[in-house]
Chains A and B, each alone.
Chain A
Amino acid sequence: MRRSSFTSEFLLHYIPAAFSIASTTLLLNVLRQALDTPLVALLYLLPVGLSASLWGLGAGVIAAMAAFLAFNYFFIKPHFTLTVHSPGDLVVLVVFLTVAVVISQLVGRARSGQATAKAREFEATQLYELSASLTGYLDTQTIVRIVAEQIRGFLHTEKIEFFLHNSEPLSLKLPIGASSPERQADLILPVQAGKTVLGEIRLWRATPLISASEKRLLKIFADQAAFALERAHLAEAESRAKVLEESDRMKTALLSSVSHELRTPLATIKAAATSLRSGEVGWDSKAREDLLGAVEDEADHLNLLVGNLLNMSRIEANQLKPERQWNLLSEIVASVLSRPHSSEGHKVEVDIPEDLPLLPMDFVQMEQVFTNLINNSFKYAPAGTTVRLSARVSQDSTVLVQVANQGPPVPAQDLERIFEKFHRITAADRVTGTGLGLSICKGIIAAHDGRIWAENLPAGFAINFTLPLSIDGKLAPQPPLEAEA
């Protein structure tokens, strides 16, 4: 490496320096009749200074030495020897050599100082650009991409690879899609924060070789990258902590709601069972019947609660995958209504047109939606009123379903919030339930590509939802018809 840098220095700087002296010598030789010795010495200083300023300190010194020898050989008597006879000429020679060397030193130094300053400025610009483009980015992928692109921009690499081997391994290769050169990387830079190695950057660039100053800059880049990655990591940890805190809060809310809701039926069951056991209740008494009925009802209620909780956790975990098949809405509604409900003399009116097409629905999940909506109506609407269930094909190739009751209106600001978990407009101790019913409906309808909303009617309250007529662009198939025998 050193050898080759010497060769290039030699070829690019020293040869032209020597050549400038040679051509000056030729020119002076032609004009020698018109020139006296001091003037020749003065003219020789010209290429020396030029060489030093153009090609640097080394070239200047080489030019100075060459000029000294050429001057002595060609222009100091006796000609064509390096010997000097006249003491005056010796003085001229010594002064010439000193001046030439000093000039070349001064010019060369100034030049190299300027080059250093330029290199520094370049580094500073690059660094500024890097940190400016890294500001504000907190995701690892972007940081890695920016650093790699920046390095590629100033280094003009054939290929650059950035590997991160922390919790989520990541690798980025630029240019994208290019195959790796078959040789080993020309430079491997570790990316480390403190003592932790976060990853490494591999670079391929054969010519020109990566210089010491470029390496220094790369090192700073790697440090900047590590710094940005650390910052991203910390920000991520912080936001994760926030999410955890939020989910913890939700869990606490869930637990307090659930334990209250679960304990209420359990208390009834326990009380009924113990009083039945105590022998205080007569075998044929009505009290005995009532207590047994309460145990059964409360057990069913508990079962419903557990089902709701399970469904909610599925919705939360995105695990609620409806098995959508062609089903009849009327059959689902009939199936729901055939089950016992805790209504207080409510009437249910179903208005579903007979020619309503088959809809892509998960039978069991849609049953759950209707069960929750009907139970809600029974819960909030006054006893003896009517719950009206209707469905219509609407203009936008969906079916609009409405479950309306004659219950009290919901304040406008709560119309959306009632679909949130644990949201309840009425005080919790007045109405039983988990506060999950409507959010489960919302989750199921959303999984069916539908929309659900609440509205106040002139005389009552309704939940509406839409269901698409088609799935994957296909409408309900028509089974072949046949004649009666």
Chain B
Amino acid sequence: MSTSPHILVIDDEPQILRALKTILVEKEFKVTTAARGEQGLTLAAADPPDIVILDLGLPGMDGFEVCARLREWTQCPIIVLSVREGERDKVAALDKGADDYLTKPFGIEELLARVRVALRHAGRAKSSKATKITSGQIVVDLAWHIVTRNGKEVKLTATEFKLLAYLATNAGRVLTHQAILTHVWDPADADRVEYLRVYMRQLRKKLEANPEQPEFILTEPGVGYRFLAD
């Protein structure tokens, strides 16, 4: 990525647009803004962005629709913005193809971190897949099915490894309960959150120094989980 990444921000609040544009331009991104969903789609088609920041509560065509329309032709990362009370909305947007979400109001550091993760993930998806993922003292070797902590192997069950591998290959991204259950278990088990809760507890017990204060696998309340990689 020699040129600066192109970010398209779609939000109907002029103050948010102004603030985001100021900050992102400062951080040397190329920024395009749209106040409505339709306008955002037109701009995206004219000049494909590297990443889209999309507010869910747009007038007219809402954020979910915009998300679905974008996914018809582009795999560029989409970060949705929503309000605190909208867990269901976040899940719906993630299931419609969004990559990540941020809850309003958010700190700018948080936004920049999410943008970096999304860009890195998009870059990784294009290049050959890494077979080793590192997070702190944890190394997940996807090719050999080995997990080590501080260089020592951690014994995992088949499902625990599958769960960790799925989270690690999507490091930095939030994965919904449903997506994890469908992928690690079976689409028929998509509602069995209890599986996830129990296996996640076991996994954390084996990986985290203090399972009550997880460092590697974070809980996204009401939405899902996120694996933090280096």
Interchain CA distance A303-B161 in the complex, whole Å: 39
Q: Give the size category of B's interface with A.
A: 20 to 34
In the complex, what residue of chain B is closest to A325 when comparing beta carbons?
B193
Q: CB-CB contacts of B157-175 with A at 8 A, as 1s and 0s?
A: 1110100000000000000
A411→B213 CA distance, assembly (Å) = 36
The residue in chain B whose Cβ has the minimal distance to the Cβ of A296 is B107
Q: Is the Cβ of B193 less than 8 Å from the Cβ of A482?
A: no
Are A479 and B84 interface neighbours, CB within 8 A?
no
Hey, which chain A residues are within 8 Å of B193, CB to CB?
Answer: 325-327
Chain A residues with CB under 8 A of B192: 477, 479
Nearest-Cβ distance from residue B220 to partner chain A, whole angstroms: 9
Proximity string of chain B (193-230) to chain A, C-beta cutoff 8 Å, 1 when within and 0 when not: 11101111100000000011110001101100000000
Kindly specify which of A83-91, A281-289, A332-340 makes contact with the partner chain: A332-340
B211 contacts across to A, CB distance below 8 A: 334
User: How long is the Cα–Cα vector from A350 to B211 in the complex, in angstroms?
Assistant: 12
Bound CA span A255–B135, Å: 49
Known contacts A330-B212, A482-B157, A363 near B194 by CB under 8 Å: no
Q: B157 to A479, Cβ gap below 8 A? A: no
Question: Using Cβ atoms and an 8 Å threshold, which residues of chain B touch A333?
Answer: 212
B198 in complex: contacting residue of A307, A358, A362, CB < 8 Å: A358
- A193 beta carbon closer than 8 Å to chain B: no
**Nearest CB to that of A481 among chain B residues?**
B157
> Are A334 and B213 in contact (CB-based, < 8 A)?
yes
Given the interface pairs A328-B201, A482-B159, A484-B155, the reply to whether A476 lies near B194 with Cβ below 8 Å is: yes
Docked-complex contact A477 and B219, CB < 8 angstroms: no
Q: How distant is A300 from chain B, measured CB to nearest CB, in Å?
A: 8
> How far does the Cβ of B122 sit from chain A's closest Cβ, in whole Å?
28
Q: Nearest-CB distance from B138 to chain A (Å)?
A: 17
A334 touching B219 by the CB < 8 A rule? yes
Contact between chains at B219 and A310 (CB < 8 Å): no
- A122 to B193, alpha carbons, bound, how many Å? 73
Using CB atoms, name the residue of chain A closest to B189: A479
Tell me the complex Cα distance, A327–B221, Å.
11
Residues of A within 8 A of B161 (CB): 485
Q: How far is the CB of B71 from chain A (nearest CB, A)?
A: 26
What is the CA–CA distance of A482 and B107 in the complex, to the nearest angstrom? Answer: 42
- Within 8 Å CB of B201, what residues of A? 328, 330-331
Contacts of A327 in B (CB 8 A): 193, 197
What chain A residues lie within 8 Å of B219 (beta carbons)? 331, 334-335, 338
Determine which of A299, A362, A477, A485 lies in contact with B194 in the assembled complex, contact meaning CB atoms within 8 Å: A477
- Report if B87 contacts A (CB, 8 A): yes
User: Are A363 and B221 CB-contacts (below 8 A) given A299-B105, A334-B214, A338-B213?
Assistant: yes
**Nearest chain B CB to A276 CB, angstrom units:** 16
Determine which of B85, B156, B197, B198 lies in contact with A485 in the assembled complex, contact meaning CB atoms within 8 Å: B156
Does A161 touch B at the CB level, under 8 Å? no
Interface 0/1 of A265-301, CB less than 8 Å to B: 0000000000000000000000000000000100110
Asked if A364 CB lies within 8 Å of chain B CBs, one says yes
- Supposing A337-B212, A485-B156 touch, asked if A364 and B87 sit within 8 A by C-beta, the answer is yes
| A483 contacts across to B, CB distance below 8 A | 157
A261 proximal to B (CB < 8 A): no
> Which chain A residues border B105 with CB–CB below 8 Å?
299-300, 303
Measured between alpha carbons, how far is A337 from B195 in the docked complex, in Å?
A: 24
CB distance from B214 to the nearest CB of A (A): 7
B219 to chain A: closest residue by CB? A335
When chains A and B are docked, how far (Å) is the Cα of A300 from the Cα of B105? 8
In the bound complex, residues from chain B placing their C-beta under 8 Å from that of A479 are: 192, 194-195, 198-199
Our pick among A328, A335, A476 for the contact of B221 (Cβ within 8 Å) is A335
User: Contacts of A326 on B, CB cut-off 8 Å?
Assistant: 193-194, 197
Near B by CB (< 8 A), chain A positions 157-207 give none
| Chain A residue with Cβ nearest B88 | A323
Residue of A nearest to B194 (CB): A326
Q: Which residue of chain B lies nearest to A482 when distances are taken between CB atoms in the complex?
A: B157
Nearest chain-B residue to A362 (Cβ)? B222
A307 to B104: give the CA distance in the assembly, Å.
Answer: 12
Q: Scoring A residues 326 to 370 as 1 if CB is less than 8 Å from chain B, else 0, what string do you get?
A: 111011011101100000000000100000001000111001000
Instruction: Evaluate contact between A485 and B212: CB separation under 8 angstroms.
Output: no
Residues of A within 8 A of B198 (CB): 328, 358, 479
State which of A307, A328, A331, A337 has its C-beta within 8 Å of the C-beta of B85. A307
Q: For the complex, give the distance between the alpha carbons of A334 and B221 in Å.
A: 11
Q: Closest CB-CB distance, A216 to chain B, in whole Å?
A: 64
Q: Would you give the shortest CB distance from A111 to chain B, in whole angstroms?
A: 83
Q: How far is the CA of A39 from the CA of B193 in the complex (A)?
A: 112
The answer on a CB contact under 8 Å between B221 and A364 is yes
Given A328-B197, A335-B219, A476-B194: A485 and B214 interface contact (C-beta under 8 Å): no
User: What 5 A-B pairs come out closest when comparing CB atoms?
Assistant: A326-B194, A364-B222, A484-B155, A482-B157, A479-B195
With contacts A479-B194, A479-B199 known, what are 5 further pairs, Cβ within 8 A? Answer: A300-B105, A303-B105, A331-B201, A334-B212, A485-B145
Chain B interface residues toward A at CB < 8 A: 84-85, 87, 105, 107, 145, 155-159, 161, 192-195, 197-201, 211-214, 218-219, 221-222
Q: Which residues of A contact B (CB under 8 A)?
A: 296, 299-300, 303, 307, 310, 325-328, 330-331, 333-335, 337-338, 350, 358, 362-364, 367, 476-477, 479, 482-485
6 A-B contacts, Cβ less than 8 Å apart?
Answer: A307-B85, A327-B197, A335-B219, A479-B199, A482-B157, A482-B159
